[in-house]
Amino acid sequence: MPIRVGGPLLGDGHGRFRIQIVGNSGSGKSTVGHWLAARLNIPFIPLDEVFWRPGWKETPKEEFCAKVTDIMQTHQDGWIIDGDYPGSLEGLVSGAATDIIWLDPPLALYFPRVVFRTILRLFSLAPPCSPGCREVWPECVTRKGILWWCLTNHSVVRKRYSERVREWGVENEGKLRRLGGWGSELRAWQREVTVAVSCIKSRPGTLRVHDRAEQMFRLTRSFTPLRGPFNSSAPIRRQTGTSHPRFNSMGSSTKHTRSPR
């Protein structure tokens, strides 16, 4: 029976997910893409590997569009595509996607990661952007390099997708979801995805699992240990019973029963 996740992921209503992950270089697209692919059991395709040929040679626009179209048709049961390339694809991927995830962390958070990754690639300690495309010194620190691109493209990407959020945002019943901040939004969304996927696996006959997933997610959050204000290493456990004593403003003890979830 068709399955749809109505919370953290939309899908097409028939159990298929075509997800595009967008954001600036170094914002975490590959990490999130691999994480999603492992949970949804669908392929992860970085557009950089499709566009860049060995020696940093670009693929012509027509050929690039044809390759991307062929990839999407080959994986009709679902895919996760990393990247946008608006100048070449002109919305080809975003138009076919059921979900668009925009990773928008602060530049101060992810730029150090880009620097570290570039250093690793210089010494062949990390895989290149695309096979045969190695980082070369000192070009990587010039205006042709990834570091300059990352710095100057941050505001460009943010402006582009801020405009699209107003039109395609999930708040407006669209398919574009922004995950910003210093990581808390992304982690919360990942928890929701994990719970929703576990519901699908445990109840394969369910048409819509959003209500059940949301209920389970709230339940797991309600038992998350809190930390004391003066001692962050000492967790404060929440009571797990069906009732607990509380005191009203007059000092008398009253008992409140936890409502069933």
Q: What is the pLDDT of residues 139-156, one digit of tens each?
A: 988 998 999 999 999 999
**pLDDT range class, residue 243, cuts 50, 70, 90:** very low
Domain assignment present for residue 148? The answer is no
Domain assignment present for residue 255? The answer is no
Q: Which range marks the domain in which residue 167 is found?
A: 17-106+157-202
The reported pTM is: 0.76
Determine the Cα–Cα distance for residues 61 and 51; give it in Å rounded to an integer: 9
Integer angstrom CA distances of residue 59 from 45, 127, 221 = 16, 20, 47
Question: Mean per-residue pLDDT for 55-78?
Answer: 96
What is the number of structural domains in the chain?
A: 1
Domain assignment present for residue 177? The answer is yes
Report the CATH number at residue 71: 3.40.50.300
Task: Tell the residue number behind the tokens 């028939």, with chain if given.
Answer: 14
Domain assignment present for residue 151? The answer is no
Domain assignment present for residue 121? The answer is no
- pLDDT more than 90, % of the chain: 67
pLDDT at 158 over 90: yes
Domain assignment present for residue 182? The answer is yes
Domain assignment present for residue 93? The answer is yes
Average pLDDT, the chain: 80
Pairing outcome for strands 57-58 and 52-53: antiparallel
Domain assignment present for residue 252? The answer is no
Whole-number pLDDT of residue 201: 66
The tens digit of pLDDT for each residue in 82-136 reads: 999 999 999 999 999 999 999 999 999 999 999 999 999 999 999 999 999 999 9
